[in-house]
Amino acid sequence: MALENKNLSRQEFLKKLGLFAGGVVFVSTINPLKMVFATEKPKNGKWYGIAIDIEKCIGCGSCARSCKIENDVSQEPFYFRNWVEQYTITNEHEIKVSSPNGGIDGFEQPVPDEDIYKTFFVPKMCNHCSDSPCTQVCPVGASFDSPEGIVLVDQTYCIGCGYCVQACPYGCRYIDPLKGVADKCTLCSHRLEKGLDPACMMICPTHARIYGDLNNKNSEVSLFLKEHNCAVLKPHLNTHSKLFYNDLNQEVH
Amino acid sequence: MPVQVKRLLLVFAFFIAISVALIYFLTPKSFGEYGHYRGKALEEISSTEIKYVQMDDCAMCHDSIAELKNSGLHATLQCEVCHGPGFNHIEDYENNRMEIPNEGQFCMRCHIMNAASPKKVIKQIDAVEHAEGEDCITCHNPHQPWL
């Protein structure tokens, strides 16, 4: 090419080289800027939210069990995408929280009935926050909010640094022991895609967990929020969680 | 401008150019389609296989059991809460048997006596006192506990 031209002066050669390099750089700068201009507009206008009715949870652990099977989560008792906690507040106002194997094997009440002030189950899962701390700390852009408001992990892109696991104030993430990358609840997006409910919500024998489109004021979750007095966990952290609990006690964290 | 600074600036420009070009060639194509992530990941995550189906799918073949169950107090229960995931069974029922829950403690997952469990939502029993050593299903039909 240019090098074969013997008559080319050094200055001309450098000029051409400069032009060529400039061209490459120019094209390259446009591409990374694509994400700045990318619209965050929902694809089909959905914005998913979840509601959990604490009054209905019987602590059978079917949700945690089905979640592990549906999503191939390690069966070891440290890895959960969703689990159930048993809160027991004694007459002396001591708060006991237990979640043996996430509730999969059932619960034991550690306190005799006459010493209990109050006790209840709290099903836990990813809050799918609108302003998720976990996605903000990801150094490589592997963790993100989908256009429908679901917080997801791109496992082929994740480097397994574990920042997001630390950042989640609700303890909803873990490093997959086999893949070595971050893993979390996806609201079963592979089921949503096929028109099915998330496994934990489908399997619940008392319909304690519901989900739906918060933008649609007639969806099941919107109507539930209208009729019940719901609260989110740790509102002071401004994560704008989209997991709403009915009948949430102040002691729950 | 002193010539040293000029040269330094040139060197800087060179390295910036190299890194910008590297970013261009190393970022996946769909990165930034919807935001600061790989757009294709959305598709990949939602393309995994399902394992649980829904009760309507069981009712296609087991219609009498489904009808029986839906007319009783276990109507809100999915078949798969007791029988395990059913996708494989539906695809090929001869080679993929469903679980038949028969350990004695099985019903107690839900009906166990626990103060945390709301009495309004579920009836609770003391297994030893109530069943007196017999299997629950000798007296209750699991698909319709009151027959």
Q: What is the mean pLDDT of residues A86-109?
A: 92
What's A2's DSSP letter? G
Element (H or E) spanning A89, and its range? strand A82-90
Contacts 24+ apart (CB under 8 A), B41-44: B41/A144, B41/A152, B41/A154, B41/A156, B41/A157, B42/A146, B42/A152, B42/A189, B44/A154, B44/A156
pLDDT of residue A239: 93
Interface size, chain A vs chain B, as Cβ–Cβ contacts under 8 Å: 158
What's the pLDDT score for residue A137?
Answer: 95
Does the beta carbon of A144 lie under 8 angstroms from any beta carbon of chain B? Answer: yes
* Averaged pLDDT for residues B47-67: 91
> A2 pLDDT exceeds 90?
no
- Interface contact A28, partner B, CB < 8 A: yes
Backbone angles phi, psi at B88, to 5 degrees: -65, -40
The pLDDT of residue A31: 64
Interface touch A202/B49, C-beta < 8 Å:
no
Number of H helices, E strands in chain A: 8, 11
Domains of chain B, by residue range, sit at: 3-46, 50-100, 101-141
Nearest in space to A155 (alpha carbons), one of A249, A72, A87, A67: A72
Give the tens place of pLDDT for each residue, A201-218. Answer: 999 999 999 999 999 999
> A34, B47: Cβ pair inside 8 Å?
no
Chain B positions in Cβ-Cβ contact with residue A190 (cut-off 8 Å): 45-50
C-alpha separations of B113 from A89, B123, B124 in Å? 18, 9, 5
Helix residue spans in A31-96 (DSSP H): 34-37, 62-70
Query: Which domains, ranges and CATH numbers included, belong to chain A?
Result: 134-183 (3.30.70.20)
Q: What is the pLDDT of residues A60-83, one digit of tens each?
A: 999 999 999 999 999 888 899 999
Other Cβ atoms less than 10 A from the Cβ of B81: the count is: 23
**Mean per-residue pLDDT, B26-32:** 85
Residue-wise pLDDT tens digits, A113-166:
899 999 999 999 999 999 999 999 999 999 999 989 999 999 999 999 999 999
Q: Name the nearest CA neighbour of A126 among A216, A187, A84, A205.
A: A187
Nearest CA in chain B to A64: B81
State pLDDT tens for residues B93-119: 888 889 888 776 789 889 999 999 999
- Return the pLDDT at A23: 86
Q: Residue A76 burial by CB count (10 A; 0-12/13-18/19+): exposed, middle or buried?
A: exposed
* Measured distance CA(B98)–CA(B142) in Å, rounded: 15
